[in-house]
Amino acid sequence: MHIPDGYLSPATCAVLGGVMVPVTAIAVARAKEVAKSRYAPLIATGAAFSFLVQMLNVPVPDGTTAHAVGAVLIAILLGPWAAVIAVTVALIIQAFLFGDGGVLALGANAFNMAFIMPFVGYGIYRLLSYGSSLSSRRRVLAAGIGGYVGITAAALCAAIEFGIQPDLFETADGTPLYAPFHLSQTIPAMLLAHLTVAGFAELALTAGVVAYLQRANLPLLAFKHRGIAETADDSSPPRSAWRWALIGIGVTALLTPLGLLAPGGAFGEDAPAELDLGKYHLGAVPRGLVKYADFWQHTLFADYGFSSGQHETLAYLISAGLGILAAGAAVFAIVVTTRFVSGRAERSPSAETA
């Protein structure tokens, strides 16, 4: 679902990036409740977890691959605005350090996976779990369905963004300038991957963690569910729960090389040289795709691998470790800044007289 540079026009990237600027600003402001609480480290954990699960590619029946995102799970635990921050941080790290998703297309990828996905999935979860106790099985099912619908909605948005490019941006003779796929191709391809594979991976991930927390750490699950029956007091989670959260991150990092076993790549992520021109009735690679495909050339490990192409497993593990450290550092900076700004606002004269 990561859209590379060159597949979307600069105008499309600018519009979606422009949408995400106020969304991210609101997210930082709205997430201050989490940032000022004892659960602030979980934003960093969520960013690292989202980064890692997106490295675990799974095969799709049409020969492509897909992956989970974890956005809806973060929204359920910390709220959708915190999910915007966590997933956006993961996407920034992927784009700049590993070339997974374009830098110019970062706004589009964030719109799909860090905005549409957590809000749609969280809305479904709230709707289906309404009136149920925090420890009910219906809440687990609601979480899973929310994850399934959320990632499918994000995939549909990506499909539309791809599919409108040939109609909006073409040369005088009708040759596409950017993505050559039409809606009749993008929507079936993206929905097949996510309705059959990625959606169920997201469902299992989201429902599984919620079910675990119902048994092992209800105070954490209760953090964003105040007033719901059968919740515990908002107190510090047991140390064992934090330990298991860190162990979970470590185990996920060690499992990331399994993503190398999935054959092929995701739909719409081919490099210009790998594009099947005959399939899309093209005589040459679209000019805009060629122009912007290599916009960012400063990755540390392109596609999570060494430049030599050797030692893929080792490169994947190093990439996972760097991603965890980068996610933690980025979220820590956001949390510290948010606390500082909030503290100054609370101490200002206007706040005292309000």
Mean pLDDT of the chain: 89
Domains of the chain, each with CATH number or no CATH: 10-353 (1.10.1760.20)
Q: How is residue 348 written in tokens?
A: 């200002």
What pLDDT does residue 113 have? 98
What pLDDT does residue 319 have? 96
What pLDDT does residue 152 have? 98
* H or E, element range at 161: helix 137-163
The residue ranges of the chain whose pLDDT is under 50 are: 231-239, 351-354
Q: How is residue 241 written in tokens?
A: 């729960």
What pLDDT does residue 217 have? 81
What pLDDT does residue 111 have? 98
pLDDT 10s digits, 269-293: 989 988 888 888 888 899 999 999 9
- Using a 10 angstrom Cβ sphere, with 0-12 exposed, 13-18 middle and 19 or more buried, the burial of residue 63 is exposed
**345 Cβ partners below 8 Å, 6+ apart?**
351
pTM: 0.92
Amino acid, res. 58: V
| Nearest alpha carbon to residue 128 among 200, 193, 203, 196 | 203
pLDDT 10s digits, 12-31: 999 999 999 999 999 998 87
Output the CA torsion sign for 100, 106, 108, 113: positive
What pLDDT does residue 236 have? 46
Tokens 């706004």 identify what position? 107
Distance CA 104, CA 14 (A): 8
